[in-house]
């Protein structure tokens, strides 16, 4: 097979080093795999967390908490509120928060410190602390030592007299105790109720109980004192105001009376005298007007009767029947009618000339004249009455006009009077109000009742409040697990190596040929790094026997997993190179120490053991690790054959057991032109000569990373087997080199993962992947062969 079978224009591009599938945005299977791989790390961190938790419990002194609860009860102060001038309504959250701030105040803390003498109590001033607190204090001390903060303006206490110095120390201790108690006491509202919880925590349960009780008592006393002080201050202020208000009220009342007297604003039954006089005159005027009208009507009536003549007087005289003189006129009219009737009768019987008829006519005329005279006299009387009524009306009208003018002047003065009266009334009302409040405040001073009562008194705590064993251990375990998860996540983030065949296919797009397990007990057990792989830099050099045994694993243990993977590689390049007579296979790696020489030797040995004519060539002329591992001591090797034009027979050796032909590499000092040698015409003649005899020519080539020898040999190779160390070789590096060396990448038949830790491999396999079932494959690998592999290693 030649390079023409791998055209560059048809080569598929390599996939990205970290492909992300849109369908696997949250890969639960991958997350579970990560968890399984990092389970030991998480368990170790959890154990460390538990250990630290136990250590904390052992080094932390227990503290005890005493709790008292007080209720802000409005009902206790109802009696006082009924007479109080300034009742406080505790209906808002801000009022409850204000009470909590009172509990945290320095004044209340000072009362408790003085009552309990806490500044002289060593259990309060210097309680035992935990190891963590001591360490933190030590660190703060070191920081202060290196970063001093000198005080400014402080006096040297050593220069003071002992009494003053002791007083200053005692004052400082008291101030410190107050600040410490303020910081340590706990006061909080219970839910949405009016209950406030007061708690204090100390290493001595008796001290915690005593301080809590003292705080509750001090709070109750403070409420009573505050109520009494407020009432007393209100009473003193009200007393001063009463004196001012009394004087002001009296002055205002005096001003009202003085103004009324100056302006003649006398009052009768609540009404000004001028207004009352005007009202009376108006009534009299109305009555006089009525009398005048009535008198005028009578006068005009009788005047018209008189003016009508004496003939009509008798007829019109009837209208005066209701008047005082009607008796005389009525008598005369009766006589007149009687005479007139007798005259009629006589004239009817004797004629008008009859003397008696003439006498009766004369008598009738006399009576008519008397009636007319009475009417004239009555008319004159009515005229006099009319004139008197009219004069009275005129006089009353003048008096009303005079009284109205005076009333207008009084009304204008009354506006100012009303203003003075309103001021006097307001001052009098205010004085009465303040007088009542002063009496109420005076009564309240002798009846102090607070709105606070204790509903739950502090009792001696039976168990420690902190540290809580279950909480500390649980939190330690959780923090340990979280730390382990973080470390495990960091390990997974740093995971940039090949672990499974799926990684090979997805990351570099090459065929995966199989896993090659770790061989050699020292490397597998003693020389592993943290990730389970041998560290070439730190591992001691294996013995010559062990190196030779590694090169013959496929021969000594043909039924092992190692051999099965090499058989898979053989099948792969047999399929790819089908139809070719002789096949040149290059074994390459990216980095040194990945085990390519071991793979090349075992692959060639497997092919030879199967009866195929095989030639193994050590093509790493700069570092012939294959030749050293096989223990071949030769004077001539590949370099001499290529340079001198010799054939493989002149420099090769034959393995007696497998008939494997081996061409070693003999180093000749520092030779840097190995790439020209591998791509020379002499190398081509050497390969062409070997093809005439062998079916397989396996060439162990230098790594791709440090030198270009493999690239120089690529035109002579029919295919490459890429050896990558499991968990050591970075995926990005492999992809980068293969992308840059596309000439070689197109000839790579497949990739084998070498130095695989089969016990850890299952953790990296996906659910359902073959990596999960390697333990079931063990029945297909002969135990005898595996035992031989272990012995040889």
For residues 501-520, give the mean pLDDT. Answer: 85
Backbone angles phi, psi at 186, to 5 degrees: -120, 130
What is the rounded average pLDDT of the residues 645-653?
86
Q: Rounded to an integer, what distance in angstroms lies between the CA atom of residue 369 and that of residue 363? A: 10
3-class DSSP assignment, residue 587: strand
Would you state the structure tokens that stand for residue 367, as one six-digit string?
A: 């009576």
Q: Is 31 helix (H, G, I), strand (E, B) or coil?
A: helix
Least confident of 300-304, 346-350, 585-589: 300-304
Cis peptide before 196 (omega within 30 of 0): no
Distance CA 479, CA 500 (A): 32
13-27, 253-267, 320-334, 561-575: least confident range: 13-27
Tokens of 170: 């005692």
For residue 652, the model assigns a pLDDT of 87
Q: What percent of the chain has pLDDT over 90?
A: 17
Task: Give the pLDDT confidence score for residue 791 in this predicted structure.
Answer: 37
Task: Look at residue 647 and give its three-state secondary structure.
Answer: coil
What are the tokens at 38? 């990092």
Rounded to 5°, the CA angle 230-232-238 comes to: 100
pLDDT tens digit sequence for 30-80: 777 777 777 888 899 999 999 998 988 888 888 999 999 998 876 544 444
Distance CA 553, CA 544 (A): 15
Residue carrying structure tokens 């004369």: 362
Token pair listed for 234: 């209100």
pLDDT digit string, tens, across residues 740-784 = 888 888 999 999 999 988 888 877 776 666 666 666 666 666 544
Name the least confident of 46-55, 94-103, 156-165, 394-403. 156-165
Tokens for 334, please give them: 């009766």
- Phi and psi dihedrals of 647, rounded to 5? -95, 175
Do strands 64-72 and 452-456 pair parallel, antiparallel, or not at all (unpaired)? antiparallel
Q: What is the CA radius of gyration of the chain?
A: 68
Confidence of residue 25 (pLDDT cuts 50, 70, 90): low
Is there a contact between 112 and 215 (Cβ–Cβ < 8 Å)?
yes
Average pLDDT over residues 563-584: 87
The pLDDT score that the predictor gives to residue 696 is 94
In whole angstroms, how far apart are CA 648 and each of 584, 598, 661? 14, 21, 9
How many CB atoms neighbour CB 424 within 10 A?
20
Residue 244 — pLDDT band, cuts 50, 70, 90? confident
Identify which of 223-227, 331-335, 373-377, 715-719 has the greatest average pLDDT. 715-719
- Distance, in Å, from the CA atom of 509 to the CA atom of 524, rounded to the nearest integer, reads 30
Segment among 105-119, 431-445, 739-753 with least mean pLDDT: 431-445
Q: What is the mean pLDDT of the chain?
A: 78
Please tell me whether residue 579 adopts helix, strand or coil conformation: coil
Handedness of CA 762, 767, 770, 772 (dihedral sign): positive
Kind and range of the H or E run holding 54: helix 39-59
E strand residue ranges, 160-234 = 186-189, 195-202
Contact 230, 423 (CB under 8 A): no
Query: Bigger pLDDT: 177 or 489?
Result: 177
Helix (H) or strand (E) holding 653: strand 653-654
**Tokens 């692959």 sit at which residue?**
603
Q: Compare 326 and 241 and report the one with higher pLDDT.
A: 241
pTM value > 0.75: no
* pLDDT reading at 267 higher than 60: no
State pLDDT tens for residues 113-126: 999 998 898 888 88
Q: Would you say residue 156 has pLDDT above 70?
A: no
* pLDDT greater than 90 at residue 149: no
Closest by CA position to 320, among listed 311, 312, 329: 329
Residues 6 or more apart in contact with residue 363 via CB below 8 angstroms: 339
C-alpha distances out from residue 121 to 96, 117, 207, 652, 733, Å: 32, 7, 9, 96, 70
**pLDDT of 112 over the 60 cut:** yes
At residue 622, the pLDDT reads 85
User: Do the Cβ atoms of 202 and 123 come closer than 8 Å?
Assistant: yes
Structure tokens that stand for 655 in this block: 């393995």
CA angle at residue 307 from 304 to 309, to 5 degrees? 120
SS3 readout for 725-792: ECCCCEHHHHHHHHHHCHHHHCCEEEEEEEEECHHHHHHHCCCCCHHHHHHHHHHHCCHHHHHHHHHH
Is residue 606 a contact partner of residue 558, using CB atoms and an 8 Å limit? yes
Across 434-446, average pLDDT: 69
Q: What pLDDT shows up at residue 685?
A: 92
Question: Which pLDDT value is given to residue 148?
Answer: 59
Using DSSP, state whether 712 is helix, strand or coil. Answer: helix
Contact 435, 246 (CB under 8 A): no
Give pLDDT, residue 22. 42
Q: Is the pLDDT of residue 313 over 70?
A: no
């Amino acid at each position: 097979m030649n390079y023409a079978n791998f055209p560059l224009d048809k080569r598929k591009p390599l996939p990205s080093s970290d492909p992300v599938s849109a369908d696997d945005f949250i890969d639960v299977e991958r997350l579970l795999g990560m968890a399984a791989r990092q389970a030991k790390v998480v368990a170790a961190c959890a154990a460390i967390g538990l250990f630290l938790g136990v250590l904390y419990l052992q080094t932390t002194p227990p503290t005890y908490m005493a709790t008292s609860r007080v209720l802000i009860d409005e009902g206790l102060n109802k009696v006082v509120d009924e007479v109080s001038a300034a009742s406080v309504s505790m209906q808002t959250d801000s009022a409850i928060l204000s009470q909590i701030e009172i509990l945290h105040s320095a004044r209340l803390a000072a009362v408790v410190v003085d009552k309990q003498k806490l500044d002289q109590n060593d259990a309060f001033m210097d309680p035992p602390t935990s190891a963590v607190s001591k360490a933190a204090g030590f660190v703060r001390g070191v920081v202060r030592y290196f970063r001093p903060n000198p005080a400014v303006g402080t006096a040297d206490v050593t220069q003071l007299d002992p009494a003053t110095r002791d007083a200053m120390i005692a004052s400082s201790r008291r101030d410190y105790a107050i600040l410490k108690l303020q910081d340590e006491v706990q006061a909080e509202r219970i839910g949405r109720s009016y209950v406030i919880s007061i708690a204090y925590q100390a290493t001595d349960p008796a001290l915690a109980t005593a301080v809590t009780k003292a705080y509750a008592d001090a709070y109750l006393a403070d409420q009573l004192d505050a109520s009494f002080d407020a009432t007393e201050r209100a009473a003193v202020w009200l007393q001063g105001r009463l004196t001012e208000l009394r004087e002001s009220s009296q002055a205002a009342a005096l001003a009202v009376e003085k103004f009324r007297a100056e302006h003649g604003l006398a009052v009768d039954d609540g009404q000004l005298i001028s207004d009352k006089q005007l009202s009376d005159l108006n009534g009299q005027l109305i009555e006089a007007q009525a009398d005048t009208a009535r008198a005028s009507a009578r006068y005009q009536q009788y005047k018209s009767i008189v003016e009508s003549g004496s003939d009509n007087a008798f007829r019109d005289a009837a209208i005066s029947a209701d008047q005082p003189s009607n008796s005389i006129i009525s008598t005369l009219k009766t006589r007149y009618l009687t005479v007139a009737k007798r005259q009629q009768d006589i004239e009817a019987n004797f004629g008008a000339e009859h003397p008696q008829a003439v006498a009766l006519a004369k008598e009738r005329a006399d009576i008519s004249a008397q009636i007319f005279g009475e009417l004239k006299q009555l008319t004159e009387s009515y005229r006099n009455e009319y004139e008197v009524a009219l004069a009275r009306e005129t006089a009353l009208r003048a008096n009303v006009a005079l009284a109205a003018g005076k009333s207008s002047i009084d009304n204008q003065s009354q506006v100012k009077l009303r203003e003075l009266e309103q001021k006097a009334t307001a001052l009098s009302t205010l004085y009465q109000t303040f007088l009542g409040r002063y009496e109420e405040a005076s009564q309240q001073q002798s009846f102090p009742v607070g709105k606070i009562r204790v509903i739950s008194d502090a009792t001696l705590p039976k168990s420690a409040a902190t540290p809580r064993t279950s909480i500390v251990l649980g939190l330690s375990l959780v923090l340990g697990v979280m730390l382990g998860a973080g470390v495990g996540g960091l390990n997974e983030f740093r995971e940039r190596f090949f672990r499974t065949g799926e990684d090979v296919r997805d990351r570099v797009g090459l065929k995966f040929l199989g896993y090659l397990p770790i061989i050699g007990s020292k490397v597998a057990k003693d020389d592993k790094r943290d990730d389970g792989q041998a560290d070439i830099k730190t591992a001691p050099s294996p013995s010559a026997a062990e190196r030779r045994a590694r090169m013959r694993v496929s021969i000594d243990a043909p039924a092992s997993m190692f051999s099965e993977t090499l058989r898979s590689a053989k099948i792969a390049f047999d399929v790819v190179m089908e139809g070719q007579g002789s096949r040149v296979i290059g074994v390459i790696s990216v980095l040194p120490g990945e085990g390519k020489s071991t793979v090349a030797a075992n692959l060639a040995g497997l092919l030879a053991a199967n009866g195929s004519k095989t030639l193994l060539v050590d093509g790493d002329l700069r570092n012939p690790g294959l030749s050293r591992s096989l223990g071949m001591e030769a004077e001539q090797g590949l370099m001499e054959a290529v340079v001198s034009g010799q054939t493989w027979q002149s420099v090769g050796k034959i393995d007696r057991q497998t008939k494997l032909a081996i061409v070693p590499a003999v180093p000749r000092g520092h030779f840097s032109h190995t790439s020209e040698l591998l791509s020379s015409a002499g190398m081509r003649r050497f390969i062409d000569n070997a093809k005439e005899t062998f079916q397989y020519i396996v060439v162990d080539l230098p790594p791709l990373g440090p030198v270009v020898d493999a690239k120089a040999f690529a035109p002579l190779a029919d295919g490459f087997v890429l050896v990558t160390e499991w968990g050591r070789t970075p995926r990005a590096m492999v992809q980068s080199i293969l992308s840059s060396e596309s000439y070689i990448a197109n000839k790579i038949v497949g990739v084998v993962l070498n130095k695989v830790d089969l016990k850890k491999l299952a953790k990296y396999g996906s659910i359902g992947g073959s990596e999960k079932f390697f333990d079931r494959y063990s029945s297909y690998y002969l135990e005898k062969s595996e035992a031989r592999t272990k012995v040889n290693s």
